[in-house]
Homo-oligomer: A and B are copies of this chain.
Amino acid sequence: MMAIPLAPHPDRALPADPGTRSVARRIYERTRALPLVCMHGHVEAQVLADDAPFPDPARLLVVPDHYVTRMLMSQGVPLEELGVPRRDGRPSETDPRRIWRRFCEHWHLFRGTPSRYWLEHELAEVFGITVQPGPETADLIYDELMAALAAPEFRPRALLDRFGIELISTTDSATSDLAHHARLREDGLGDRVIPTFRPDSVVHIGHDGWRKQVEELAALTDVDTSTYDGFLAALRRRRAAFAEAGALATDHGHLGTDTTPLDDSAAAAIYARARDGDATADDAAAFAGHMLFVMAGMSCDDGLVMQLHPGVLRDHHEPTHEAFGSDRGLDIPVGTEFTRGLRPLLREYGHHPNFRLVLYTTDETTYSRELAPLAGGYPSVLLGAPWWFLDSPDGMRRFRELATETAGFYNTSGFVDDTRAFPSIPARHDLARRIDAGYLARLVTEHRLGEDEAIETACDLAYRLPRAAFQRRDAVTACR
């Protein structure tokens, strides 16, 4: 088999209809080079703080990308053979070239997936690769990537500039000491790489290691977390430390959306049971819902934008999770309900001038039924960008089709990526801009919107809205 050229087409992911495509091309042209604002990602702060060269193609593009390892696993390639380390110390592939070859041999599995789009974009536009991955080209590509990674212009901070990233936030546990962010600040990158406060590990009392986490919280804050009141005080202190370090937002992963507040004594009693290891599953669910309510109140006080992405059952295959750890045990979405779940929180804070809630989902049925009506009514609610499995060409198109007619464009957050794969960031933003250009172009071609308005809207979605959505609520000015 001959090598197939890798040459991402300038019109890729634009609509098929030629008339719509030419409008889309004009719209896309106006957003293509706008700066990137990356407010919901999972890049490790350490990568940018250390600014060390990426080690090899496997550990850059395969091992850490659970979209990729998951697809390979689904066709029978064990995670060990992809170099994912086992937690029990049993062996796992260590030769990056062999991992890379396995990936290239299975390139056809990615047909029709966003991973294919992102990887093509990265390989071609970031690294200058000119042939498609495949069994015959694996070594060639590997060698070219290795050569590139050795060069200074492929270090993380150089890529930060090259990618045009104006602002990127990492996602950090409430118990992170933010040391990497401190180093970034010393290096003058403090306003460009900021943390996001993620308290999941301290609010989900049923999780393994919860008690250890709240003790770390105590150690970091010098507040005794043995009581519920102390726990809240410590959280407030951590939030202040994050805000001090530049954070603009919090991020909350919950299985459900319940936000029913408990009265103080009930919350304190559950907390006490959790400390004693006696909390029930019902306790855990009630406490998690209560803490969303409490955190919304804290957001009104400190202005941090609240992000919620519920509805994913983590570690569906427990044996794989036990062997390989988080994000490897197959996280699978479940049906999600927002209308009833968020009602207590929105009753209290939905009209609060300092409050902003950005909602994400992996359940598309909620776009037109619940999320667009909520975002199209409550001043505090924005719809986040299509999340995770839905951050894909057709997924993003459906999002606009299902949400816009009720929520409009201006109750959405604009595009935020959700990647832990740093070099995929430009590919993801580029794809979003193309899909939005295509959707807007259809509105223009169907005479539902003027082209000037469409261009202005596209720029808002790509740049102005994400900036405005994640401004601190105590310093908000309107987007236009």
Chain A positions within 8 Å of B, measured between CB atoms, are 4, 8-9, 11-20, 70-71, 73-76, 108-114, 116-117, 313, 316-320, 330-335, 337, 339-340, 343, 346-347, 350-351, 362-365, 368-370, 372-379, 381, 389-390, 392-395, 398, 400-402, 404-411, 442-443, 445-450, 452-453, 456-457, 478, 480
Contact = CB atoms under 8 A, between A and B. Distances in A.
Contacts of A404: 112-113, 394
A394 to B, nearest CB: 5
A129 to B, nearest CB: 16
A368 B350 contact: no
A217 B313 CA distance: 40
B408 A71 contact: yes
Contact of A393 (B8, B71, B405): B405
Highest count of chain B CB atoms <10 Å: which of A18, A369, A447: A369
A393 B405 CA distance: 8
A346 B74 CA distance: 13
B347 A317 contact: yes
B405 A448 contact: no
Contacts of A410: 75, 108-109, 111
B333 A74 contact: no
Nearest to A114: B405
Contacts of A442: 16
A75 B468 CA distance: 13
Given A9-B447, A346-B317, A401-B394, A368 B339 contact: no
Contacts of A369: 333-335, 362-365
A446 B394 CA distance: 11
Contacts of A401: 394, 398
B340 A319 contact: no
Q: Report copies per complex.
A: 3
Given A369-B333, A370-B333, A449 B377 contact: no
Contact of A365 (B337, B364, B389, B407): B364
A265 to B, nearest CB: 25
5 contacts: A4-B450, A13-B448, A112-B405, A313-B339, A330-B378
A375 B113 CA distance: 14
A445 B9 CA distance: 10
B364 A368 contact: yes
A375 B74 contact: yes
A463 B12 CA distance: 29
A364 B334 CA distance: 14
**Top 10 closest pairs, chain A to chain B, by CB:** A9-B447, A12-B447, A392-B405, A16-B445, A112-B404, A330-B377, A332-B339, A389-B406, A16-B20, A76-B379
A350 B317 contact: yes
B111 A449 contact: yes
A346 B113 contact: no
A56 to B, nearest CB: 25
Nearest to A336: B369
A340 B313 contact: yes
A363 B337 CA distance: 12
B317 A409 contact: no
